[in-house]
Amino acid sequence: MGFLDHSTNNIIVDAVLTDTGREFLAANKGDFKIAFFSLSDDEVDYTIIEKFGRTVGKEKIIKNTPIFEAQTQSSIAQKHRMLSLPDPTVVRLPKVSIEGTSGLSGNVVPFTTTTNTTRRVVFEQTIEGETKIPDGVSDTSFTVTVPDRFVTVQGKTPFNIESSTRVASYTVQRTSTNTKNGAIVEFTLALQSGLDDTIFTIYGNLGNKNTISGVVSIIGDQSGFRKDFNVTITRPTS
């Protein structure tokens, strides 16, 4: 990944197909169809506005912020999506939590190949200083991405698996809502079968081949809000 040339004042649009998009296009079955687009501000450092004020800070961001080249891997592109809300007076947005997840330690959900082979994930939207989460950001469905070599979403079939990274994407529906209209979604992560010594030798952490680490992401399909957390898979030592 690199940055676009920012040495001139020309406006540059850099667009590429993701790996999945190229697969659909190459298959030539009529499945390739661009129906939506999304914008994000992954590169923007908003502390510049806090430091210099809105007018000067905005100018510094526009002139000095390096812009990433377009990504072909959808799992690492657009971490912070922009959104439009029906109510222009909204001043607070919800935050997300996975505090109810089984076995959670900090931001890590641990597995072992012998006993803790499944974990129940509980994801919840909450908001402070407001009685209700604004319309347009209380999601009804979510995209869950997992490292498919090691973990699956139990009872679900992925709608996409990236060929290069083996990141699998699942759609998970909202389970319920809380008193502030925040979405609550629950699902179970399960270890893949066949996590043998060869897998740990290839994908085990540097310096500790008895543990494999990966990242699971939960993304609101309506709001674009994203929560990433780590998973670790440990095998018993002889």
Are residue 132 and residue 186 in the same domain, yes or no? yes
98-123 average pLDDT score? 93
Owning domain of residue 118? 95-234
Task: Work out the percent of the chain whose per-residue pLDDT is above 90.
Answer: 42
Are residue 217 and residue 126 in the same domain, yes or no? yes
191-220 average pLDDT score? 94
Residue 1 is predicted with a pLDDT of 55
Are residue 62 and residue 105 in the same domain, yes or no? no
Are residue 213 and residue 105 in the same domain, yes or no? yes
145-168 average pLDDT score? 92
> Whole-model pTM?
0.74
Domain final residue pick, 29, 46, 76: 76
Are residue 137 and residue 38 in the same domain, yes or no? no
Are residue 55 and residue 130 in the same domain, yes or no? no
- Domain of 223, CATH number, reads 2.60.40.10
Question: Is 87 inside a domain boundary?
Answer: no
Single-letter code of the amino acid located at 13: V
Are residue 49 and residue 118 in the same domain, yes or no? no
151-170 average pLDDT score? 91
**φ, ψ for residue 75 (rounded to 5)?**
-70, -20
In this predicted structure, the answer to whether residue 151 has a pLDDT above a threshold of 90 is yes
147-151 average pLDDT score? 96
Residue 208 is predicted with a pLDDT of 94
Are residue 107 and residue 222 in the same domain, yes or no? yes
Band (pLDDT 50/70/90 cuts) for residue 75 is low
Residue 174 is predicted with a pLDDT of 93
In this predicted structure, the answer to whether residue 199 has a pLDDT above a threshold of 80 is yes
Encoded tokens for 108: 């890590």
Residue 43 is predicted with a pLDDT of 81
Rg (Cα) of the chain, in Å, rounded? Answer: 20
223-229 average pLDDT score? 86
Are residue 59 and residue 176 in the same domain, yes or no? no
Distances from the Cα of 160 to the Cα of 30, 58, 123, 148, 156, angstroms: 17, 38, 22, 10, 12
Q: How many other C-beta atoms can be found within 10 angstroms of the C-beta atom of residue 152?
A: 20
Are residue 126 and residue 210 in the same domain, yes or no? yes
The domain tally of the chain equals 2
Q: How many other C-beta atoms can be found within 10 angstroms of the C-beta atom of residue 82?
A: 11
Residue with tokens 């992401």: 217
Task: Work out the percent of the chain whose per-residue pLDDT is above 70.
Answer: 92
Are residue 132 and residue 38 in the same domain, yes or no? no
190-219 average pLDDT score? 94
In this predicted structure, the answer to whether residue 12 has a pLDDT above a threshold of 70 is no
Are residue 112 and residue 147 in the same domain, yes or no? yes
Question: Is 7 inside a domain boundary?
Answer: no
Encoded tokens for 131: 């009685």
